[in-house]
Chains A and B, each alone.
Chain A
Amino acid sequence: MQPESHVDLKNGILYNRLKQIKLDNDIDSEWPEKIPVWSCYFDPKTTSKFLNLVKVFNDDDLKHLKRLIKIDDKIRGLICPGPESTKEEIKKLFKDAAFEYHDLELVEVPAHGAKSIETTLKWASIWPLNWKGNPNHQMLNKLSFDIEYESKMVNKLLETLQENTEFVSVTIFVKNNHIELIETNKFEDKLHPQDHAIMKSIDKIAKNELYKRKNYPDEEIGYLCNGYHVYSTHEPCVMCSMALAHSRINKFIYLKETNSGGMASSYYLGDRDGLNWKFQIWKWIGSDEVERINELIRVRQELKEY
């Protein structure tokens, strides 16, 4: 794959300034986790009928798998994930459509696709998989950021932090390239968790939406913080990281890790499969801004000690 010029695929860096924060590396495990999927055998002539029938099932969890494989003069097809339907429900569906099949049974197949062509071929001994290239590399190549805008937002964080030596962190919520909110935290001994800048922002956005729906019912309806890009001087704590996932944000950019952070420092919340939502996480590594925040933090540290 030919990488775009602003993309460093190996290190997950864009424009030399944004580093991708990601839970897993690009190495596959020896064998995949498996999921049970209903399958059956049928005559190749009835393939299109089969594909039509199974359209009623949700196939989101099967997209990495070859749906049909040829075994001797028969086709073996995947119907739906095991928990989705019972054997009786499937039997009834096929019976009602007069579809002929045999050996309706659960088959254990890889739960997810592989990250390399080699693993894809190896795992095919369990069940054949689709290969469309390393999913993360494909994603990185497709991304194009307005890097000047991202830089402007990061500098806005720093300007706000600099305004007041009592400020220890700054968070900005942006939607459609428009700054909706800037929240700060001051140094406090007992900062209530719900006063963390991210929690305050999420609460304000919800209240705005309630107000808007009541008073301006014709305006477009917002869904939680979906569509928001969030910029922050610091990696958020576990609570705030998960709150961002619950709020369905789309992108998070921060400058500094924190000891009790919920992203790069511990659980990569926002980039975990299985949770209800994923969003992009980037660390700003542009040297000018990194130097500047280190200096601002140093000043605050000295004041605190003083």
Chain B
Amino acid sequence: MDLTEHFKCMAITTFIGYKALLNNETPVACIIKDIKTNKIISIGYNYTNKSLNGTQHAEFIALQRFKNKNINYNDLVLYVTVEPCIMCASYLRQLRIRKVYFGCGNDRFGGNGTILSIHSDNLLNSTYQSICGICRTEAIQLLRNFYIQENESAPTPKLKKNKDIESKLFPPNQFTITKEEFIYNLGEERLRIFEDGSLELTPRLNEGYNVKDFLKLEELKRIPFLEQELGDITQQQIDSFGSLFYSIEGDGSINYEMVVLKYTT
């Protein structure tokens, strides 16, 4: 099974998260794809700092654009860098979104399987599938780049957390989907990744990747709302973005030999 299209979508989404970081927001982002046209029709990014509204998560920003429009949410697929929180998971379900793909789990308030399974519980009728693990390490590393910043600027810094994120290992890759869901959505040939815990998904089996391989300046410039809302995109930004992340090897292992940089303002 070729997952290139999903990785491309998630690479773009991760870049939007980086743009949010440049705008002093938590780097969590999403895109909405219409499956009928295969086009990205909306983007979202954490907007809680600027709006002073703690509910303005990426998913809300992306979907509230359609609030008074006639739209069939069952045609929409969401890609989001971090697992939707409990609130967003319920929001997506009430709207009856078709499907969700996310990068890393949210171990504080994940609502798609990590803390609660709001996407599939029996409180409401319609459920949605939520597939994890696409560009997982990139989503985590982007968040780490945000949190070290916050800690370093705290007024009375306590000795806290390991700030040495260039050499920090990633937590085990535990899938929040069932084996059957994994096989159906990510391919039986990748089951080793499902079972191993230390390997990452790659777009094509036995081929490595780096998240920046999927980004092209011209394509990014055409993403709706992106430049208007988060500022112009330059090749230099794409390069700086790329320098933050490890490559993933063909066998799914993380290339820790690589030198990655820390984000600085």
A contacts, CB < 8 Å to B? 56-58, 80, 83-86, 89, 93, 192-194, 199, 202-203, 206, 209-210, 213, 224-225, 237-239, 242-243, 245-248, 259-260, 262, 265-267, 269, 274-276
Contacts and interface: CB of A to CB of B under 8 A. Distances in A.
Contacts of B36: none
B263 interface: no
Given A57-B158, A86-B162, A194 B67 contact: yes
Interface string B40-72: 000000000001111110001000100100000
Contact of A269 (B53, B86, B108): B86
B54 A246 contact: yes
22 contacts: A57-B159, A80-B159, A192-B67, A193-B95, A194-B91, A203-B55, A206-B52, A206-B53, A238-B87, A238-B89, A239-B88, A239-B90, A242-B109, A243-B87, A246-B54, A247-B54, A247-B55, A267-B116, A269-B86, A274-B108, A275-B86, A275-B108
Contact of A202 (B53, B94, B95): B53
A266 B123 contact: yes
Contacts, number: 94
Given A238-B86, A274-B115, 19 more contacts: A84-B160, A84-B161, A89-B159, A193-B91, A194-B64, A203-B53, A210-B51, A224-B52, A225-B54, A238-B90, A242-B87, A242-B111, A243-B54, A243-B55, A267-B86, A269-B86, A274-B108, A275-B108, A276-B109
B124 interface: yes
Across chains A and B, which 3 residue pairs bring their CB atoms closest together, nearest first?
A206-B53, A242-B87, A239-B90
Interface of B: 51-56, 60, 64, 67, 85-91, 94-95, 108-109, 111, 115-116, 118, 121, 123-124, 158-162
A238 B118 CA distance: 8
Nearest to B116: A267
B95 A206 contact: no
A203 B86 CA distance: 18
A224 B51 CA distance: 10
